[in-house]
Structure 1
Amino acid sequence: MLTDPLFYLVAIPALLIMGISKGGLGGGLGIVSVPLMSLVIAPTQAAAIMLPILCVMDGFALWGFRGQYDKPNLRTILPAAILGIGVGAATYSYLSDSHIRLMVGLIALVFSLNWLYHRMRGNNPAAKAPNRIKGWVFGAISGFTSFSVHSGGPPLDMYLLPQRLPKGVFVGTTIIFFAVANYTKLIPYAWMGLLDTTNLMTSLSLIILAPIGVRLGMLLHHRLSDGWFYWLCYCLLLVAGIKLSVDGASALWAARF
């Protein structure tokens, strides 16, 4: 297992943020976790160490939001996510994480800024109904980006947030979605050798953070009204978009020189 104290100094808050996000905020804030850990280890190793912990977090979150989900949406986005994971695994050695981060970040920025613009002007667009085509598109993109950089939250938010689901149903739906996605990702991660002894032992040493983070997220979730919940989700989506765009563009720019 990793023994560098600096790694744990960064990994502990990163994983607590992920747990809080997964346990009550729809997963949006967790976008910062892999980039934080990537400050001290390689991004691929950060993603591999996080995956088993995410699977444990999913178990606690599923129990906490049991019975709260939107079945019609899940029927569409779950098969799409598995397709996206398959594409991600097949193209993993050909695509740059930087390109993926930039693409998802720009889409998230446009989406969140458009919502904030209309809200500040006093517009309140009607809730949108589930759409199978959009569900397949955003579900597949979410599965694809989740596989490579654990950044599936923004694409999924772009599909679910406009529907204005009750906050418990929204979070419960995202939890089921990412639980299926994360457990599915174990297969290609193991096949590619990313779940080696070092990474697994490091994950095991940090596993106690899973229930702590999820519990903190659930406590926060129950203290937010629906209005504040959606404001926070869109703001987190905006922050995630900025973070992904800056990371992706900076890496691509640096690669030119």
Structure 2
Amino acid sequence: MLNLDLFFFLVAGPAVLFAGVSKAGFGSGAAFASATILALVVEPGLALGIMLPMLMLIDVTSLKPYWRKWSLPDVRLLVIGGLPGVVAGALLYRVAAPDLLRLLIGGVSVGFVLWQLSLATGLVRLVRSRMPDWAGVFFGCIAGFTTFISHAGGPPVAVFLLSRGLSKTQFQASTVLLFWILNIVKFIPYAALGMFTAQTFMANLVLAPFALLGTWVGVRAHHLVPERVFFGITYVLLMVTGCKLIWDGLT
């Protein structure tokens, strides 16, 4: 049962705003923090169901400022892999209990932060050479799966796109186009799984302005705000909320 009280909107409003800023300005890598935060106050399935229409609104609003600035060949490879990844995510969701979803979302969140820290400290070094086309299909499949179960497709997409020598804006535009497509594909199985209700629809109506404002801020911040500052805040949020979800899932 979704309780649309003041506390819910005090948590959900900033979370959706944060998703808009991340997706519209910084490549979607941290947008799934919003679903992680929401999963602290509602069941994971409801959190995902609330966030998907908001992410779709952010996607369609972000298309115009980045129109045709993407790398279409790279997006095509990621979509080819992403579609079966979405199917795999839908199949897992059918058999997953809420606590398992909490563990999965929390695990993805904490793993993402540890991965980024490993890169920053030099413990892990990405291959600097251009990844082959088949790698795009592979990472697309991982992205399709993780975006279905936790809206966390950004990190595997970033691993591939960063190796392809794209400019900052090409990279951003490619993620906008890719997740616009994958989120549309996700909508059908989400609906079939009962993740949308009259209450989530009401929540979306109230939260839509936060999504639009976040998108507006994100597009402008793309050229102004240092990524180090933004992602530093993101990593702290993800680590804290991810650990909380893992604890809740285990206990």
TM-score above 0.5, yes or no: yes
Determine the structure 2 residue equivalent to 1:97: 101
Q: How does 1:12-161 map to 2 (within 5 A)?
A: 12-95=13-96, 96-101=100-105, 104-105=108-109, 108-109=112-113, 111-118=115-122, 127-161=128-162
Q: Structure 1 vs Structure 2: percent identity of aligned residues?
A: 28
Comparing 148-157 and 107-116, the one that deviates more: 107-116
TM-superposition CA deviations, 1:174-199 (whole Å, max 9, x none):
11111111111110011112112221
Indicate the SS of the match to 2:93: coil
Change in CA separation of 1:31 and 1:239 when aligned onto 2, cut-off 3 Å: farther
Residue of 228, 243, 247 corresponding to 1:246 = 243
Change in CA separation of 1:209 and 1:200 when aligned onto 2, cut-off 3 Å: same
Q: TM-score, normalised by structure 2?
A: 0.85
Determine the structure 1 residue equivalent to 2:221: 220
Q: Distance in 2 between matches of 1:241 and 1:186?
A: 25
Q: TM-score, normalised by structure 1?
A: 0.83
Contact 1:104–1:154 (CA under 8 A) maintained in structure 2: no
Q: Distance in 2 between matches of 1:103 and 1:142?
A: 15
Contact 1:105–1:240 (CA under 8 A) maintained in structure 2: no
Change in CA separation of 1:243 and 1:169 when aligned onto 2, cut-off 3 Å: farther
Q: Distance in 2 between matches of 1:55 and 1:81?
A: 16
TM-superposition CA deviations, 1:64-117 (whole Å, max 9, x none):
211111122112101211111111111213343245336545653564234313
Show structure 2 runs of 5+ residues with no match: none
Q: Aligned pairs, how many?
A: 246
Q: Distance in 1 between matches of 2:8 and 2:126?
A: 44
Contact 1:104–1:244 (CA under 8 A) maintained in structure 2: no
**Stretches (4+) displaced over 6 A:** none
Comparing 95-104 and 33-42, the one that deviates more: 95-104
